[in-house]
Amino acid sequence: MELTLNNLLDFLSHELHLKRNKINESYNISDFIDGYSAEDMLIELGDKFNVSFENFDFMRCFHSEIEIMRGFTLCNLLRLTRIRKIEPLTVGDLYEYMKNNPKQAMPPNQQ
């Protein structure tokens, strides 16, 4: 699939279960997805749009599954421990990253 902002918005609205007219370039993806779901989404984005997320700083924008699970332990709930703050990842930020990180074609002798 060709990487365009509209195609990315269509994909994200479907993936995040949001109405297409409610999501735009400034929408914060990090508010709706974390952990394994976010990892799976990035893998699918990479496959669908031929983009590499090899250099993407996942921990800057998403919580890991372990962090989420630790946050729900009884001890942490009683202490009201907070999960670390993450930076928002907007649709526009994601689109810019994707435009700048296409998958590299493999040399013919390595295919």
Tens digits of residue pLDDT in 63-110: 887 776 665 565 555 555 566 788 999 999 999 999 999 998 655 565
Helices (H), 16-103: 35-49, 58-61, 65-71, 74-79, 91-100
pLDDT over 90 at 40, yes or no: yes
Q: Where are the domains of the chain?
A: 5-110
pLDDT score at 75: 55
Class of 5-110 in CATH: mainly alpha
Structure pTM? 0.79
Q: How confident is the model at residue 55 (pLDDT cuts 50, 70, 90)?
A: very high
C-alpha 89/C-alpha 87 separation (Å) is 6
pLDDT score at 65: 79
pLDDT score at 25: 95
pLDDT score at 16: 92
